[in-house]
Amino acid sequence: MSWLDRARGAYVRSPSFVRRTLRPLIGLIPSKLKFGRSYQRWRRDIARASQDHAYASERHLASLRALLAKAHHGSPFYRKLIETAFGDGFDPGTFSLDDLRRLPILDKAALRAAGETALAEPRGRLDWTETSGSNAEAPFGFFLDKDRSAREMAFVYDVWSRIGFSESDARVCLRGFGLDPEGLNIHDWDPAMRELQLSVFPMTTKDAALYLDLIDARGVQFIYGYASAIELFCRQMQTLGRIPKRPIKGIMPISEPIYDHQRQMIAETLGNPPFACFYGLSEKVLFAAEVADAPGTYEFDPLYGLAELVDAKGNPVTEIGREGRLVGTGFLSTGMPFIRYETGDFARLVQLPTAENGQRMRVSDLTPRRKPNFLIAHDGTRVVTTDLTPAEGRVLKGIAEFQFYQDQPGEVVLRYVLAPDGSVEDAKRIASELGQRCHNRLTFQVQQVKRIAAGRNGKRAFIDQRLDIVRY
């Protein structure tokens, strides 16, 4: 394990005072050297797999066998599951992709109960982390390999490179940074990461004007961060009647679904730059990139993990266009194996993984359970907001930001922040049009707020869904 493979992740996760001390020195290191040999090797492998489907399939199966061997050897929890399914004479060298279905699907509760018996390596070699949880779900703690950052970034930069972004490029970063304990400093330049870090809350018009000055001063041409924050920044640009002086070359959303109305708003404001979108999980189980020229369709990378789509009974979804639950087996971080892990997310099948396509499953309507893209109608059916949300600028006239809140089937509160030239009547008009769009399957009420609340990471949920969507 190269120290450079661990250094980037350690830097990102270190306290702010440590980063401030180290970053001038790290900023002097050439970009390619900074990312390390493991990163470069993975970039080459990912590129080869994208062109050579036979290699991708072979590597996919080899990674699965290696994971099963490691889990069987090092983890008492997984050893019991594997031997229950395959007997005491388990041979990972003969394991096939179809054999995986003989193992049970594991949810967070099962892994919590397993505790450290699920580890395939000593705890001291791993990092402890946890998901943030939600109103319907408790935080989930787990372990990751200390050197996973270099491998992870190889996949991320492979996606970003498709729109021209490279390791040496700077980027605007709109995430939930705690730049200052007092909240007085709302921007920072990190030379080690080549990031112009901008606070996403509250991001007033005055803040946005300052951010544009900073972007112009450094000539940054790529924007990275939460889709909700990028959308809000663009709305403020429209209010100001101003965009960056140098054209924006690409948008790199992370960590949230990106909705059609957000994509259109960003594109219209910034001159239609290309988007580089991907799907990932905190547990490092699956990774999928949006397919070029097919917004909303994602293709899973076979070197990162094995993706399955199953129905409510756990049977494989094989019918194109059918929705299923997303289950993942991860190859990226294996100190705590995730084998047939219930992600809690949903998707609709577009393409089955086969040897001919390099084991690349494609899906659409990828819906994180914690960030659903649908509302629940009076009759308990779903109303997908990508079909409901008005994308036309005239419809949203007078509204700076909005959010759907739901805690009862069929009843939705439209929370909104008025634009400087807006009025309550604009909000009522939008609510009326939304009701007509869904043929009155939903009843909309309006609620004016000073700002849309952000979570502790600075994310603004497009839908604040309080219903248990698994029931619908």
Q: Out of 229-233, 240-244, 404-408, 458-462, pick the least confident.
A: 458-462
User: What tokens appear for 384 in the block?
Assistant: 């997908």
Per residue in 421-455, pLDDT tens? 889 999 999 899 888 888 788 999 999 998 887 66
Whether 343 and 326 have beta carbons less than 8 Å apart is answered as yes
> Which has the closest alpha carbon to 440: 392, 395, 379?
379
User: What tokens appear for 336 in the block?
Assistant: 């705590």
pLDDT at 392: 53
How crowded is the C-beta side of 278, counted as CA atoms within 13 Å?
Answer: 26
Q: How far is CA 5 from CA 28, 145, 191, 301, 360, in A?
A: 18, 11, 19, 21, 27
Per residue in 215-273, pLDDT tens? 999 999 999 998 888 988 998 999 899 999 999 999 999 988 888 888 998 999 999 99
The pLDDT > 90 percentage for the chain reads: 63
Angle at 419 between CA 199 and CA 181, to 5 degrees: 20
User: How does residue 137 score in pLDDT terms, banded at 50, 70 and 90?
Assistant: low
How crowded is the C-beta side of 124, counted as CA atoms within 13 Å?
Answer: 0
pLDDT at 333: 97
Four-CA torsion 450, 454, 459, 463, nearest 10 degrees: -70
Same fold, 163-275 and 374-471: no
Of residues 79 and 385, more confidence is placed in 79
Whether 181 and 16 have beta carbons less than 8 Å apart is answered as no
Cα-Cα end-to-end distance for the chain? 46
Question: Tokens 């279905």 sit at which residue?
Answer: 101
Instruction: Kindly report the pTM of this predicted structure.
Output: 0.81
- Report the distance separating Cα 157 and Cα 131, nearest Å: 23
List phi, psi (to 5°) of 51.
-105, -30
Over 50: is that where the pLDDT of 33 sits? yes
Task: Kindly list the domain boundaries of the chain, sorted by start residue.
Answer: 163-275, 374-471
Give me the chain's average pLDDT, please.
88
CATH T-level assignment (fold) for domain 163-275: Rossmann fold (3.40.50)
Whether 379 and 363 have beta carbons less than 8 Å apart is answered as no
> Which has the closest alpha carbon to 417: 140, 205, 199, 248?
205
Per residue in 6-25, pLDDT tens? 555 555 556 665 566 665 55
What SS3 class is residue 372?
A: coil
SS (H, E, C) 57-99: HHHHHHHHHHHHHHHHHHCHHHHHHHHHHHCCCCCHHHCCCHH
Whether 143 and 123 have beta carbons less than 8 Å apart is answered as yes
**E strand or H helix that includes residue 392:** none
Residue 372: asked if its preceding bond is cis (omega within 30°), the reply is no
Query: In this structure, are strands 297-300 and 305-310 parallel, antiparallel, or unpaired?
Result: unpaired
CB-CB neighbours of 114 under 10 Å: 18
pLDDT at 462: 81
User: What tokens appear for 391 in the block?
Assistant: 């994308």
User: What tokens appear for 389 in the block?
Assistant: 């949300």
Helical axes 148-161 vs 31-51, angle rounded to 10°: 70
Mean pLDDT, range 365-387, rounded to an integer? 75
Of residues 25 and 353, more confidence is placed in 353
> Which has the closest alpha carbon to 372: 305, 323, 328, 338?
323
The pLDDT > 70 percentage for the chain reads: 85
pLDDT at 470: 67
pLDDT at 135: 46
DSSP states of 235-292 = HHHHHHT---SSPP-EEEE-SS---HHHHHHHHHHHT---B--EEE-TT---EEEEPT
Per residue in 295-322, pLDDT tens? 999 999 999 999 999 999 999 999 999 9
Which CATH number, 3.10.20.30, 3.40.50.970, 3.75.10.10, 3.30.300.30, labels domain 374-471? 3.30.300.30
Per residue in 85-111, pLDDT tens? 999 999 999 999 999 999 999 999 999
Over 80: is that where the pLDDT of 126 sits? yes
